[in-house]
Amino acid sequence: MLGVHVDRMEINDLHRSIASAIRDNRTTVIGNHNLHSIYLFHRDQNMHEFYRRADLVHVDGMGVVLAAKLLGLPLTFSQRLAYLDFMPPVCRKPCKIAGACFTSAANQV
């Protein structure tokens, strides 16, 4: 979609993927796309490489969902996963399972 890959998943799918990585003691890189990140993917080689290497890339922008709908792609509003919605439960669960949760945000990669 728009030249980028996204994993179509709902919040429970993402939680299961994270729990599986914790259970298997596997480092997992999770990226997310909104319209700005799609722009950067096409303009910035570092961002392009980050998304190429990410294990999972979910949608975190309603503009991406709307663009998908306009293009006739099967992306639903429930597949838009905002960090505000899914991170609090994720950060509580790892402490019970493995003890660590790390998240990073930056304006430069």
Kindly report, residue by residue over 41-59, the tens digit of the pLDDT. Answer: 999 999 999 999 999 999 9
Structure tokens at 89: 């439960």
Query: Rounded CA gap, 9 and 94, in Å?
Result: 20
The answer, as to whether pTM is greater than 0.85, is no
Gyration radius of the chain over CA positions = 14
Q: What is the DSSP letter of 7?
A: -
Tell which residue, 104, 108, 74, 99, has the closest CA to residue 22.
99
Query: Rounded CA gap, 22 and 4, in Å?
Result: 27
pLDDT tens digits for range 71-104: 999 888 888 888 777 777 666 665 555 555 555 5
Longest dimension (CA), the chain: 42
pLDDT at position 94 is 52
Domain edges within the chain: 11-97
